[in-house]
Structure 1
Amino acid sequence: MAARSPDTPNPDDPVGYFLQDLLYHGKSERTRAAYKRVLRRFETFLTDPDKNPSGRSVAPEAATQRDCMAWIHTLRGDHAESTIATYASYLHRFYGYMTQVGAFESNPMALVVEEMHESIDKDPMRREISVMGMRKFVSEVTHPLERAVVFALLKTGMRVGEVSNLDLRDVNLADEDVRAAYSLGERPQLDGRPDSIFVAADAVRGQVINGEERTASNKRKRETIVPVDDELRRVLVRWLAIRPDAQSPAEPLFVSTSGDWGNRLTPKMIRNIVECHAREHGWYRTGGGAEENVTPHYFRHFFTTHLRDRTGDRGIVKYLRGDVASDIIDTYTHNWGDRVREVYEANIYALS
C-alpha cells in the first residue's frame, strides 16, 4: 500500500468529505443533495453483508470493481438505464476525486463505467467475422488504393472521416524510396516516431486545414499516434508508388484514381469502396442493417473487438480509437507511446 504524506486527507467519512468539497467548489444544494442520496445509498449497500458480494461490511475506500458492479446490478429493474448511468457517473466522480486528492488509492468505478459506455457491442446479433475470414476478404481487394484504404481502416480502427483527412504530413514511414519521393511525417508530433500515423482531434468539416477545406470531421477526444506495423507499411508503400499527383496543396494521403483524379478521397468515396467489395463478398445487402452489412464502421468494431481480446488491455485499445482523455492515459505509463507500440505490434492481427 502506498504511503500517504502528512497532508493527504484520510477522512473517517469519505462521502461527507466529498460532499463538503462539492460545497467548496460551488455546487448547488440540489446537486449536492443528489450526490448525497446516491452515495449514501451505495454506502449502505457496502455495509450490508447480505447484499454485498463479499459477504462482509466494506468501507467505500476498500470497495472493489466487483462491489461497484454488484451495486449497479441492484439498480436494474427499478430504474431506467439513463438513471443508472447517472448514478454510475456520480459514483465514478466520487472515486475519481477521492483518488486524485490522495484519500483513496484507486478508482474501482473506472472499468465499470468503461464497460457501461462501451459502444461496440450494442447489437448482439451483429455479424461476427474471424481474422481468417477477414484475410480472405482483403485478399480479394487488389487495387493498391482500395487495398491501402481497407488496410488503414482495419489495422488502425480509424473512422472513415479520419482516414479521409490524412495528409502526407500525418504519415511517417521508414522507407527510403517513399521518403525520397514524398515529404512524409512533417508533423512535429511524429518527430522521432517512424512508422506512425498522427490522427488529429481538431479537424472540423468546412474548416481550412493545411491549405484545404475539409469535407469531414475527426471525432476524437484527443490526438492520437497510431503505430504502423510492417504489413500496413508495405501496403501504404505500394500505394504511394503509384499515387497520382494531388490536386490539393495539403497533399492528401489518399486521392482518387478515377473520375476525381488526384482529389482527396471523401468519406462517401471510402464507404463506396468498402461497400463494393463487401457486396461482392456477400457481406452487404441493400436494406440490410448494421447487424448484417460490413461497412467502415464495422471495420472499427472488428479492430476494437479483436485487439481488445488479444491484449486484454482496454486502455490501450481506447487510446488507439481516440476515445480516452489524457488523464486516463497517465494512469498507465509516462512512456505511453512506447507502451502502445509494444502492445500493438505484439498483438495486432495479420491480414495477409
Structure 2
Amino acid sequence: MTWEKEIRAFGYYLKIERSLQDNSILAYRQDVEKVAAYLEKNFPDIAPEQVQLYHLRQFVNDLAGLNISEFSQARIISGIKAFFKYLMYEDKILDNPALLLEAPKLTRTLPDTLSYIEIEKLLEAIPMGEPEGHRNRAMLEMLYSSGLRVSELTHLKTSHYYQDIGFLRVTGKGNKERLVPVGKSAAKYLRLYLEEVRVHQNIAKGHEEYIFLNRRGKKLSRVMVFLIIKKLVKEAGIQKNVSPHTFRHSFATHLVEGGADLRAVQEMLGHESITTTEIYTHLDRDYLRQVLNEFLPGNKN
C-alpha cells in the first residue's frame, strides 16, 4: 500500500461515493499529501497501514508550531480523519489511528458583513452603460437576495431559473439541491441581463445553458467573480474585506436581524444542520447588545 496510490483512490471515493465537487476533493487530497510528506520525511518507508496515533499527533504538534491558523489546522486534521475513515471503510486497515486525533477548538466567528447602505453603494458603483454592467448587477443582486455561494452562482443554468414563480433550483455542497426564492430587485436585473445582453452574445459551445457568461461567451469563473467584486469595493470606497461569501453572510445576517425564522434561513442557505445557521443568532445578540449600550440612557459612557 503506497501513499500515492491510496490518495488517488481516496479522491475517486470522494467523487463517486460522497459526490463531492472537484474543489473539495482537491482540498482533501492536499491535506492528506501534507501528512504523507511529513511521515515519509520523519518516519522513512512508513506505509498508510502502519501509521499509529502517535505519528499523527507528532504531525499535529509540528503543525501547531507553524504560522498556520487554527481554522487551517482543523481543516487539515479533518482531511486526515476522512482519509483513515475511508481506509477503514474499504477494509484496508483494522484500526483507525486518527479516531482519537484532536483538532484545536475554534472560536466561531464571521467575516465582515455589509450593511444595506454598503450593499447599495456597491450596486451603484456598477457602470450600467456597459454590457458587463447588466451582468454584474444581476450577479450581485442574486448573491445578496438569494444567499448563494459563488460556485452555486457560476453553475446556475437557465433551466434552473423558474421565472414564473421567482425561484432558483440550486445545487449546493454534496450535489444537494434546494429551491431558493429570488428577490424582486434581483429578478428585475436578471431579466434585463437575460433579455437585453445575454441574448445578443455569441455563446461558446458547451456553455449555452449557463446564465452568467464572460466576454468570450463562456461560463463565468469563480476567480472572475472575486475580481469583479474587489474592483467594485475599491470604487465604492468600502474599507472592508469583501468577497462573494460576504454577500451570503450579509443576506443571512439581515434576515435574522429582521426577525426571520431560523429554519427558513437554514433552508435558504442550504445548511445541513441548524447549528451552522445559529451562528447568525449570536451575531444578532451582539448587535442587540451594542444597540442597548449605545442608546439606552444610563448605559452610555
Q: What is the TM-score normalised by the length of structure 1?
A: 0.42
Structure of greater Rg? 1
Q: What is the TM-score normalised by the length of structure 2?
A: 0.49
